[in-house]
C-alpha cells in the first residue's frame, strides 16, 4: 500500500504531490459513464488521497412512495431533471422525512455508489491505516444540508475539524482523519445550519487568477480545474489534445502570481458521453498504465503548472533552480480508473530529484525549439524526447 506519511509528518499538504480520483463513486455503468474500477477503500490503498464526489438524491424504486437514497452520479448537469419534494422519506436519514431535491439523469448518465457506503469505507481506511488521511471533495451536489448531516454522523471522530487553511496542515495533523470539503455553493447552504470547519465541513475554492490566498480561510485553496467539454463532439484523440491544451492554459493563466502555498490541481482525465472513458484513459496513460515518461506528464500540464508559478526571473532549465521546480509542482493529479500503478507513479513524483525535473524541462525546451525550426506550426510531429 502507498503510505504518504513516509514523506515526513511535518510535510504540509501544499508540500506534497498526491493522486485524486475523478468521479470517484462511479464504479459501474456503460463504457461512456464509468470512471473507476475500484471502490473508495481500494482507491485509497492505491494512493488516492482526494476523492471527487458528486451526490444527488434518487428514489430507491419506481414507486412514488419509495424513500430516496443519496448516491454518486455522473452526467452533464445541463441534461439532468431535478424536482423539489416536501416531506419525502430519506432512507439515509434513518427514514426521517425531509424536503429534498430528487434528480433524474439522462440516458447518458448513471448513479454510482451510495454516499453512506463511501463514507464508511473512508472511515475504515483511516481507522486501519492510522498514518494516513483522505479528502472528500463534494461538488455539483444537491441537498447539501442532508449531505453534511450524513457526513458528520457517519464519520464521527474520524472527521477532521479545526480552522485555518488546509493547505498548511501537516501530515501529522491530518493523519487518522477524513477531511470533508464543500464548494462555495455548498458552504453557503449549510453554514447557517451550524456546519462549519469547526464541526467538520470545510470550504474549497478555486483561485481563478491564482491570487488571494489566505492562511485564515477555513478550507482548501487551489488553482486549476478539469479539461474537456463532454459535449464538444471531438474524437477521442481530439479530447485528449483538448485536455492537454486546457491544462496548460489554466496553469499559465491561473497560477502566474500565486503563493507557493496555493494547491495546484491538474486533471489527467478526459470527459465524454458517447465513447468509452476507459479507452481514452488507456491512451493517456500508455500501454504500461502510466505516462510513457515524466516528459509526457510534463507536456500534459505538469510542466506548465510548475513553470507558470515560478517567479519570472527563475528559469526552469537552469540547474540552480531545481529546488524551486519542486516547490511549485502541482499537488493534486486527478485521474480516472485509479490503480496501484498510477498511484505509485504519482507518489514517486515526490521523490523526483530536482535535477531530473530540470533535465525534463531542458528536453521539452529543446524539442520545442526543434519543432519551431522545422516550421513552427501547431501540432507538429513530436520529436524524440528520450
Residue 241's domain comprises 11-312+330-351
Which tens digits make up the pLDDT trace of 213-247?
999 999 999 987 644 444 445 555 455 555 555 55
Residue 325: inside a domain: no
Which tens digits make up the pLDDT trace of 256-270?
556 889 898 887 765
Number of domains in the chain: 1
Residue 372: inside a domain: no
Residue pair 18/31 in contact by the 8 Å Cβ criterion: no
CATH number of the domain at 230, please: 3.20.20.190
Residue 324: inside a domain: no
Residue pair 206/226 in contact by the 8 Å Cβ criterion: no
Sign of CA dihedral 328, 40, 51, 226: positive
Mean pLDDT of 113-122: 98
Residue pair 41/106 in contact by the 8 Å Cβ criterion: no
Residue 386: inside a domain: no
Residue 371: inside a domain: no
Sign of CA dihedral 37, 40, 41, 44: positive
Winning range, highest mean pLDDT, from 17-21, 146-150, 288-292, 379-383: 146-150
> β-strand 110-114 against 68-74: which pairing, if any?
antiparallel
- 3-class secondary structure per residue, 309-326: CCCCCCCCCCHHHHHHHH
The Cα 265–Cα 305 span in angstroms is 8
Amino acid at each position: 500500500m502507498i503510505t504518504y506519511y513516509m514523506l515526513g509528518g511535518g510535510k504540509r499538504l501544499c508540500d506534497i504531490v498526491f493522486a485524486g480520483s475523478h468521479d470517484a463513486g462511479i464504479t459501474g455503468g456503460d463504457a461512456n459513464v464509468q470512471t473507476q474500477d475500484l471502490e473508495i477503500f481500494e482507491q485509497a490503498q492505491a494512493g488516492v488521497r482526494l476523492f471527487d464526489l458528486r451526490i444527488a438524491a434518487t428514489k430507491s424504486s419506481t414507486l412514488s412512495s419509495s424513500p430516496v437514497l443519496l448516491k454518486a452520479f455522473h452526467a452533464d448537469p445541463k441534461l439532468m431533471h431535478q424536482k423539489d419534494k416536501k416531506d419525502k422519506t430519506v432512507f439515509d436519514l434513518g427514514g426521517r422525512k425531509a424536503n429534498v431535491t430528487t434528480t433524474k439523469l439522462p440516458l447518458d448518465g448513471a448513479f454510482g455508489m451510495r454516499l453512506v457506503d463511501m463514507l464508511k469505507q473512508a472511515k475504515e481506511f483511516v481507522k486501519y491505516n492510522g498514518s494516513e488521511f483522505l479528502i472528500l471533495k463534494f461538488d455539483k451536489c444537491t441537498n447539501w444540508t442532508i449531505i453534511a448531516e450524513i457526513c458528520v454522523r457517519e464519520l464521527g471522530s474520524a472527521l477532521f475539524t479545526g480552522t485555518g487553511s488546509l493547505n498548511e496542515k501537516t501530515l501529522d495533523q491530518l493523519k487518522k482523519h477524513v477531511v470533508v470539503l464543500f464548494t462555495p455553493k455548498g458552504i453557503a447552504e449549510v453554514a447557517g445550519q451550524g456546519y462549519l470547519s469547526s464541526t467538520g465541513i470545510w470550504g474549497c475554492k478555486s483561485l481563478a487568477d491564482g491570487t488571494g490566498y489566505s492562511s485564515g480561510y477555513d478550507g482548501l485553496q487551489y488553482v486549476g480545474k478539469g479539461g474537456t467539454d463532454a459535449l464538444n463532439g471531438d474524437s477521442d484523440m481530439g479530447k485528449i489534445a483538448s485536455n492537454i491544451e486546457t491544462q496548460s492554459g489554466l496553469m499559465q493563466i491561473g497560477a502566474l502570481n500565486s503563493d507557493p502555498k496555493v494547491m495546484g490541481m491538474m486533471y489527467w482525465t478526459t470527459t465524454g458521453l458517447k465513447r468509452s472513458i476507459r479507452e481514452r484513459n488507456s491512451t493517456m496513460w500508455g500501454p504500461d498504465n502510466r505516462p510513457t515518461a515524466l516528459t509526457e506528464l510534463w507536456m500534459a500540464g505538469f510542466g506548465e503548472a510548475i513553470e507558470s508559478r515560478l517567479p519570472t526571473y527563475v528559469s526552469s532549465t537552469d540547474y540552480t533552480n531545481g529546488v524551486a521546480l519542486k516547490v511549485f509542482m502541482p499537488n493534486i493529479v486527478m485521474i480516472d480508473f485509479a490503480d496501484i500503478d498510477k498511484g505509485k507513479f504519482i507518489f514517486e513524483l515526490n521523490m523526483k530529484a530536482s535535477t531530473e525535473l530540470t533535465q525534463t524541462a531542458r528536453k521539452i525546451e529543446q524539442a520545442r525549439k526543434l519543432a519551431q525550426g522545422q516550421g513552427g506550426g501547431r501540432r507538429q510531429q513530436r520529436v524524440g524526447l528520450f
